Each structure stands twice: as C-alpha cells, then as structure tokens.
Amino acid sequence: MKQADSDIPPQKSLIGEYGTYFANLADKPASLSFRNANWKNVADWKTKARAKATELLSAPETGKTTVVKIEKKYVYDGLDIEELSWQLPYGKPTKAIFLKPQGSTKPLPAILALHDHAGKKYFGFPKLVKTSDTQHPLIAKHQTAVYSGNAWANDIAKRGYAVLVHDTFAFGSRRVFYEDVKGLDYGPLKTGDKTDEKPDNEEHILAYNEWSKEHEHVMSKSLFCAGTTWPGVCLAEDQAALSVLSARKDVDSERIGCAGLSGGGVRTVYLAGLDDRIKCAVCIGFMTTFKDLVMNRSYNHTWMTFAPLLANYMDFPEILGLRAPLPTFVQNNNQDALFTLLEMKQADDMLKQVFAKAGSSEKYRAGFYDGPHKFDAQMQADAFDWFDRWLRG
C-alpha cells in the first residue's frame, strides 16, 4: 500500500517543517520556464520571460550616456592600464580598471570581469587585478585563497582581451560609507570612525566588513521599500559598466563576454541572462535551484541573489538560461559549502534541457571540479579557453 504524503515525516530544513511544503512550490517547471511544454518558440519565450524578470527586478534607471573620466594611465605587467571613474545618478563615483595588452590599437574581444562578494565590501575591483608590485595584504590573501594567487583579470587581458573591472553597488567606491549612516551604531565600528580616513588600516577594513554584513539586511529592506531590489540595482550598474566597455573604440562590441565567481557568479546570472550584449558567459561558483535555497542554503547568500516572486515564473538556473542559444559555461565545485551538490547537478540538468530545446546543446557546458568554493588556476584555464572558442575562434 502506497504511503500517503501526509504520513511522510517532513524533511528537516532551514525553516523547519515548513521547508518541504514551500520548496515544492518552487520545484516545478513554472509558467515562464522554457521546460514548460507550453513554450515552443525560443524568441516568444525569451521576450515574455525577460519582460517578467525585468519587471520583478525593478532596476533603477541609470541614464543612457555615461561620461567616463580617465583618472590615470600607465603600463604594468605587460598591460596598458587605465584607472577610470563615472558618475551614476546616485551615490559616489564608480571606480574601475581597464586593461589591455600593451601597445594594442585594434578593437579587441572584451571581458567584463565581475568581482566577488565574499563578505568583503570594503574592496571591489582590486580583488581581480594587480596594478603594481605592491598589493594590499588583504587583497593578496584573498587572491591566494580563492584565485590560486592570480589576478585573473590581468591574465585574461594578456591573452589578447580588453578587460574592464568595476566596483558594483555597495562595494569599494560604491560602498556605504559609515559616516553617511544614521541610527545604526551596532557592530565593531563606532560613531565618528570614518571609513575614508583609514584606507590602508587592516583592522579598520575588517571591522567595516563585519559591520556591512549586518547592514546588508537593512539595505535590502530599504530597497524593497523604494520599489527596487538588490539584484536589480547590481544589474543596472553592471549594465552601465557594460555600456562603458561597449562604447570604447579599442573594443569589438560584438565580442564581449562576462565572468565572475560567487557574487560575481550571481551577477553573471542576471547580466548574461538579460542582456544579449554579453555574447559569451562563464558563471563560476553560483549555480543551484530555488529548492536548494528554500531548504538548505538561503542563509549562506547575499541579498544580491534574491528577486522576490521570480520563482513563480522560472527556476534560478533558468534566469541564466534566458540567454540561450548564446554560449554559456557554468563552473561548479563539488565540495562547495554554499550549495548542495545534488541541486547543483539538478540545475545543470535544467540548463541542458533549456539549451537542447533551443537547438543549441553545443553552446552550453558545465564543469564540476573537486574542492571548495573557488576559481582556481585549472578553472581559469578552462574558462579562458571557452572565451577563446566563442569570442576569438
């Protein structure tokens, strides 16, 4: 005799016995999933699914034209480097680094390199680059921990790419400056302890990163009240950076890719899923299902991940799948504590189905690597080869 569902003990979850019920709400081919049999035509599906995702993300308007200021130009590591800035309608100026092979003059294929989160908001773009022989000790430590000690933006630039790395919302130059906040004196920072007065103080930077973890909840609630979302704001700022990159005369705007680990991975999901200017994408260390987030892993992740109600229309992998049939590579780590391996594989299966139905199975690839959360040297080599295949080959 078959056991009734009501007789099966609920599976333990982050939200107790409620987990199984609510996870089941997300565990289905939703109305705007291309896996749903109702969808036959790729173009029709993409148009409607992207419109709904765009509506729910509610990204703020950043303007059509961004005036870019070149702060400094120099040569380092065999690369021509520019330190850039631009002003969005809100917040302090965005700072960025542009890199390309020294002496290159012709339009190059390009990469928008998306920095990670890592609970370290004091820094943004420096996590991916090296612009002098002297690095901040915390940046060197971070690159050693998750990037095999490499400044991978430099490395792919040396392969013949133009590369832009910018600070996104709430990181680096775009971070929330403590002295601008009122009414929140919790955490290790104290009133009057100004973040811009101790730029190289390691103790202060670590204290700021701890404070900003708590402030992230406040920021997200405030964004909801403003009618927008954290992933929507990041998408808007990443698209502004993409426009900066695309407009350069030394960039081939028809051959632009993006990649990022972790927080950079979730940024890749939204940017590459919703903007066809990204011709090739590599999502690193951020792929799973909404079911996994409901049951097991939502507490691990930044508010940059969550677009309210989007699960009613598509599963998390299908946001990235909105770019089908454009080339897409997802890199996973088998022992990544931020996700459940079974659900990472389920996400891979969903994306395989989407790309197969779109008639482009060869444009999708997934890699599963042993080890914890990282973008190590082997993963970098594979990612760079993927870009070479689709942006240069």
All structural domains of the chain, each given as residue ranges with its CATH number in brackets, are: 28-393 (3.40.50.1820)
pTM for the full predicted model: 0.94
pLDDT given for residue 2 in this prediction:
44
Report, as ranges of residue numbers, the positions in the chain whose pLDDT lies below 50: 1-6, 191-193, 195
**HSE-CB for 43 with a 13 A CA cutoff:** 0
pLDDT given for residue 30 in this prediction:
86
pLDDT given for residue 192 in this prediction:
43
Distance CA 340, CA 366 (A): 16
Q: Are 230 and 218 in contact (CB under 8 A)?
A: no
Distance CA 286, CA 288 (A): 7
Distance CA 365, CA 378 (A): 16
Distance CA 363, CA 366 (A): 10
pLDDT given for residue 51 in this prediction:
98
Strands (E), the chain: 68-76, 79-86, 94-101, 108-114, 162-166, 251-261, 280-284, 328-333, 364-369
